[in-house]
Amino acid sequence: MNVKEILKKELGRIKPTSEELAKLEDEAKTFCLNLERSLKKRKIKASVFIGGSLAKKTILKKENQENPLNVGFSGPRKFKKQQNFRGYDIDIFVRFDSKYKDCEISDLLAKSLKATRIHGSRDYFQIKKGKVTFEIIPVIKVNKARGARNITDLSYFHVSYVLGKLKKNPRLADEIMLAKSFCHGQEVYGAESYISGFSGYALELLVIYYKSLINFLKIAGKAEQIVLDPEKLYKNKQDILESMNEAKLTSPIIFVDPTNKNRNALAALSKESFLRFQKASSSFLKKPSLAYFQAKKINEKNYNSILKARTNRQEGNIAGSKLKKFFGFVERGLEKNFSIEKKDFEYDNKKEATLYFKIKAKSNIIVNGPPIEKADNLEKFKEKHKNTFIKNGKIYAKEQVKMSVKEFLKEFKTKNKKIIESMGITELD
pLDDT tens, N- to C-terminus, the chain (429 residues): 899 999 999 999 999 999 999 999 999 999 999 999 999 999 999 999 999 999 999 999 876 443 334 444 334 343 343 344 457 999 999 999 999 999 999 999 999 999 999 988 899 999 999 889 999 999 999 988 888 898 899 999 999 999 999 999 999 999 999 999 999 999 999 988 889 999 999 999 999 999 999 999 999 878 788 999 999 999 999 999 999 888 788 899 999 999 999 999 999 999 999 999 999 999 999 999 999 999 888 899 999 999 999 999 988 888 999 999 999 999 999 988 889 999 999 998 789 999 999 998 887 778 888 888 777 788 888 888 888 888 888 888 888 777 788 888 899 999 999 999 999 999 998
**Cα 164 vs. chain centroid, distance in angstroms?**
27
Residues 199, 315 within the same domain: no
Given 244, 263, 292, the domain boundary residue is: 292
**Cα 191 vs. chain centroid, distance in angstroms?**
4
Given 292, 309, 343, the domain boundary residue is: 292
Which secondary-structure segment (H or E) carries 249? none
Residues 339, 258 within the same domain: no
Residues 311, 270 within the same domain: no
Give the ranges where 231-371 is alpha helix by DSSP (H): 237-243, 271-286, 317-334
Residues 282, 156 within the same domain: yes
- State the CB neighbour count (10 A cutoff) for residue 368: 9
Given 292, 315, 350, the domain boundary residue is: 292
Cβ atoms of residues 152 and 189 within 8 Å: no
Residue of 87, 88, 84 whose CA lies nearest to 65: 84
Residues 355, 391 within the same domain: no
Cβ atoms of residues 408 and 295 within 8 Å: no
Residues 345, 379 within the same domain: no
N- to C-terminal Cα separation, the chain: 45
**Cα 188 vs. chain centroid, distance in angstroms?**
7
Here the CATH number for the domain that contains residue 306 is 3.30.300
As for how many domains the chain has, the answer is 3
Residues 49, 157 within the same domain: yes
Here the CATH number for the domain that contains residue 285 is 1.10.1410.30
Residues 412, 375 within the same domain: no
Residues 347, 214 within the same domain: no
- CA geometry: angle at 78 spanning 10 and 297, to 5°? 80
Residue of 332, 319, 306, 310 whose CA lies nearest to 415: 332
Residues 346, 256 within the same domain: no
Here the CATH number for the domain that contains residue 388 is 3.30.70.1550
Cβ atoms of residues 197 and 308 within 8 Å: no
What residues make up the domain containing 357? Answer: 299-363+401-428
Note the pTM of the prediction, 2 decimals: 0.83
| CA separation for the pair 123, 92 (Å, rounded) | 14
Residues 131, 242 within the same domain: yes
Residues 376, 357 within the same domain: no
Quick one: pLDDT at residue 369? 87
Q: Say whether 33 sits in a helix, a strand or coil.
A: helix
